[in-house]
Amino acid sequence: MRKIWTLIKREYVTRIHTKGFLWGTLLMPVFILLVTFFPLLLGEFTGDDVKNIAIIDRSGALAAPLHEAMQNDGEGKEATRYHLHIHTPDAAAWTETVQLLDNQVKDKKLDAYLIIPEDIFESNQFELHCSTVSNLLFNRRIENAVTQVATTTRLQRSGLDAELVKKFSARINAKTYKVGEQGSREESGFASYAVNYIFMFLLYIALILYGTFVMQGVTEDKSSRVMEILLSSANARQIMAGKILGIGAVGLTQFFIWMLFAALASMYGLAMVQAIDPGISKIAMPTISIWVYVLFLVYFILGFFLYATLYAAVGSMVNSDREAQSLQWPVVMLILFAMLCAFPVLQNPSGTFAIVISLLPFFTPILMFLRFTANAATTVELLASILIMILTTWGLIWVTAKIFRVGILMYGKKPTLQELLKWMKYS
């Protein structure tokens, strides 16, 4: 046990003092902050950007109301979002007018121009000419404005009250409440989905990242012949245990720092977001139970041991990082498949498919945890999944240890499946 502890200490101290660990630990919270706040801040700086738009209305019915509707699209700000210019060319000047507008768009004097056809009420189409058509938000705003004005005009022509029809056809939204042990509490469905997705994504990243660290550690020691020195003082099982436990401790250290940051962000982050965008205050944020953090830790540890043993076997079979990258794909695909199954599971977390696939040990860390955050996993299912993972990991350690014991001293070409079976038989 003392040898294993020495190996754990070596792996832990060696990695925790690297610049990669320090930068990775600090940059992940910064990255989360940027992803969260940067779009809001960017919206503040770009919200008053004025678009110059020209309108050619061949129907003769939409230019004036469209001008009024788009001028009022300033969202309560002092500056309007659009400056509109209405053109009414006759048939003789049509080609010259279109050419003039094209040149103004090319010269950045205009952002876009619209051509509303005579049959817009039948064709339900208009032309939007701009220097780039990839600005989907701008395109959708123009489409919405034209649709709103055309709908209002249709209703007025039919003799119906447009405001009354709008009132009668207004969308009815659901105010969601989560029923728990303390009764019902208002909770945003979107916010709850986002929290579940973030936790699931963290598990996905952790399993790949720290499993890869185990593989790289074995490959580096093997290619530099350090493994031969270690084998003079410890056996293969002790070396594998030291690497897995040491790198796992590094991962736990990093995650505890990130969780501390998450706790601080949850205390002060919402107030900061509401200061930038007051509309956020209308969102009922979900409460996160202490059991979410506990199970996150449990599934991280079990998932790490499960996949780390596979990565250790891959690292012992190859001679360089390049070979390891090509051989690790079967392991990565297992984790990736769990992520792909996460969306149908989240849609129906209590269904038969969700229950069965979340009990499969290679998918359990992500999918069972996701079902728990969705309040769909029973206590029996949670305990069964933990027991299945422990037994599977124990069996994988037994198999991987046999491959590891022979593979760490094998150099040259990658072993075939038949050779791996021989290693497991004779080791």
The model's pLDDT over 232-260, given as tens digits with 9 standing for 90+, comes to 777 777 777 787 888 788 877 877 787 77
The token pair that represents 286 in the structure block? 């979900």
pLDDT at 369 over 70: yes
Q: In the predicted model, is pLDDT for residue 388 greater than 90?
A: yes
pLDDT at 95: 85
Q: What is the pLDDT of residues 308-355, one digit of tens each?
A: 888 888 877 777 777 777 778 888 898 889 888 888 888 888 889 999
Shared domain check, 278 and 315 = yes
Q: Which of 168, 203, 230 is the last residue of a domain?
A: 168
pLDDT tens figures, 149-199: 888 888 888 877 777 777 777 776 666 555 555 555 555 555 666 667 777
- Give a yes or no: residue 142 inside a domain: yes
Residues 203 and 307 in one domain: yes
- Checking if the pLDDT of 394 tops 60, the result is yes
Separation between Cα atoms, residue 57 and residue 63, nearest integer Å: 6
Average pLDDT, the chain: 76
Q: In the chain, how many domains are there?
A: 2
Residue 356 confidence (pLDDT) = 93
Residue 228 Cα distances to 22, 212, 222, 401, angstroms = 30, 22, 8, 16
Confidence of residue 270 (pLDDT cuts 50, 70, 90): low
Do 216 and 129 lie in one domain? The reply is: no
Question: Is 393 a domain residue?
Answer: yes
pLDDT for residue 385: 93
Q: Domain check: are 310 and 231 in the same one?
A: yes
Residues 8, 55: one domain? no
Decide which of 107, 138, 168 is a domain's last residue.
168
Q: What is the pTM of this model?
A: 0.63
| Residue 60 covered by a domain | yes
Four-point Cα dihedral 38, 39, 45, 47, nearest 10: -170
Pairing between β-strand 177-180 and β-strand 127-130 as defined by DSSP bridges = unpaired
pLDDT, residue 43, reads: 52
Answer yes or no: is 303 within a domain. Answer: yes
247 & 155 share domain: no
Domain assignment present for residue 175? The answer is no
Q: In terms of residue numbers, what domain contains 367? A: 2-36+188-426
What mean pLDDT comes out for the span 256-285? 59
Q: Which of the two residues, 127 and 318, has the higher pLDDT score?
A: 127
Q: Is residue 221 located within the same domain as residue 312?
A: yes
Whether 80 has a pLDDT exceeding 50, the answer reads yes
Q: Is residue 181 part of a domain?
A: no
- Tell me the three-class secondary structure of the chain, residue by residue: CHHHHHHHHHHHHHHHCCHHHHHHHHHHHHHHHHHHHHHHHHHHHHCCCCEEEEEEECCCCCHHHHHHHHHCCCCCCCCCCEEEEEECCCCCCHHHHHHHHHHHHHCCCCCEEEEECCCHHHHCCCEEEECCCCCHHHHHHHHHHHHHHHHHHHHHHHCCCHHHHHHHCCCCCCCCEEEECCEEEECCHHHHHHHHHHHHHHHHHHHHHHHHHHHHHHHHHHHCCHHHHHHCCCCHHHHHHHHHHHHHHHHHHHHHHHHHHHHHHHHHHHHHHHHHCHHHHHCCCCCCCHHHHHHHHHHHHHHHHHHHHHHHHHHHHCCCHHHHHHHCHHHHHHHHHHHHHHHHHHHCCCCHHHHHHHCCCCCHHHHHHHHHHCCCCCHHHHHHHHHHHHHHHHHHHHHHHHHHHHHCCCCCCCCCHHHHHHHHHHC
Q: Are residues 243 and 392 in the same domain?
A: yes
188 or 9, greater pLDDT:
9
- Within a domain: 44: no
CATH of the domain at 109: 3.40.190.10
78 pLDDT band, cuts 50/70/90, is: very low
